[in-house]
Amino acid sequence: MANRILLVNGPNLNLLGTREPHIYGSESLADVEASARTAAAAFEWEVDAVQSNHEGELIDAIHAARDTAVGIVINAGAYTHTSIAIRDALVAVGLPVVEVHLSNVHAREEFRSHSYISPIAACVIVGAGVQGYEFAVARLARIRAQSV
Ligand code: CA2
């Protein structure tokens, strides 16, 4: 059985650590991915990590996970608030989804409080910074353990 999870990071998250540290912290995308890999290793999982600024590339990665992964951790960035296509892709693959946001989106502009992903996610984690990705991996592991 698959022992991999897909970690998806959306637009502009490649810039993590370079600007707006008061909102997103000072850690880089590489740090985020390393944290997720460390958390996943505790469950003997590996992480396939993708970051893209292009909606279609994110959708292609989600589709590919259908045959390779047991779950998806996703921070879709601003596509969270706009993309029915990413939501549909997540539903189509049928894997458990944990949605993560570094910042507390509910304490920011009103448009960030709406997510197309949250209604189809098994869990939503906001405002925990990079640690949120570790929580997300642990949550996926619990969901997985309860489903087998
Ligand atoms: O809080 C989050 O994780 C967000 O998903 C981040 C998105 C934002 O559009 C969502 O509303 C909340 C934006 C990521 C932008 O990342 C940057 C990092 C450093 C410098 C500039 C942008």
Does residue 36 contact residue 137 with C-beta atoms inside 8 Å? yes
Domain with 58, as residue range(s), is: 4-147
pTM (two decimals) = 0.97
β-strand pairing of 97-101 with 46-51: unpaired
> Which pLDDT does position 1 carry in this prediction?
53
Per-residue pLDDT for the chain (148 aa), expressed as one digit of tens each? 579 999 999 999 999 999 898 999 899 999 999 999 999 999 999 999 999 999 999 999 999 999 999 999 999 999 999 999 999 999 999 999 999 999 999 999 999 999 999 999 999 999 999 999 999 999 999 999 998 7
Residue pointed to by tokens 């996970």: 65
Measured between alpha carbons, how far is 148 from 146 in angstroms, rounded to an integer? 6
Q: What is the distance in A from the centroid of ligand 1 to the CA of 53?
A: 12
Q: Which contiguous run of DSSP H or E holds residue 50?
A: strand 46-51
What CATH number did the domain enclosing 77 receive? 3.40.50.9100
> In total, how many domains does the chain have?
1
Q: What is the distance in A from the centroid of ligand 1 to the CA of 78?
A: 7
